[in-house]
Amino acid sequence: MMSTPDTIERQIRIEAPRERVWALVSEPGWWINEGTIRPHHIEQREGFVVVTDEKWGDFRIEVVESEPQSRVAFRWLVSDQEGGDHADVSAPEMIPTLVEFTLTAEGDSTLVRVVESGFAAAPVTAEARQRAYHDNAEGWETELAAAKSHVETGA
């Protein structure tokens, strides 16, 4: 059986200043959508937030580190389940991953790099690890394109 890589790395150049890009990527769970940035309900809890998406349900997201305008890291629970409670840390199918966004100003544009890690050691079946990795690797292409469109057009 093929082992699951641990890390997904993607990047995109957004034609906007770093401050505008930061306003989006520093929001917990902005990437929970399907190619169009949409608003979420965010509820502050002790040490984390619960982000509620109308389709995908609830997600527990912790801000691990934040360097304004430069870098932000979140820990969240990944699942291939649609809807439901993705905030339940005790659910056996959940995979905790670290998502790190790094912003680099390049003239009038911003290079956004995302690194998501934690797949290889996830305490789930090999099939679930592989599926989550594949879904998220594909998903980051979609979500970074959505971020680019959202920030560049303001829509």
**Per-residue confidence (pLDDT) for residue 83, from 0 to 100:** 46
Specify whether the backbone of 71 is left (phi greater than 0), alpha (psi in -120 to 50) or beta.
Answer: beta
SS3 55: coil
Residues 6+ apart with CB under 8 A from 36: 146, 149, 150
Place of tokens 């502050």: 44
**Per-residue confidence (pLDDT) for residue 125, from 0 to 100:** 83
Per-residue pLDDT of the chain (155 residues; tens, 9 = 90+): 568 899 999 999 999 999 999 999 999 999 998 889 999 999 999 889 999 988 888 888 999 999 999 999 999 877 645 544 555 555 555 788 999 999 999 999 999 999 999 999 888 888 888 888 999 999 999 999 999 999 999 86
**Per-residue confidence (pLDDT) for residue 105, from 0 to 100:** 97
Domains and CATH numbers, the chain: 7-153 (3.30.530.20)
Give CA–CA dist 56/96, Å, rounded: 17
Give CA angle at 93 (121, 139), nearest 5°: 75
Give CA–CA dist 123/55, Å, rounded: 26
**Per-residue confidence (pLDDT) for residue 149, from 0 to 100:** 97
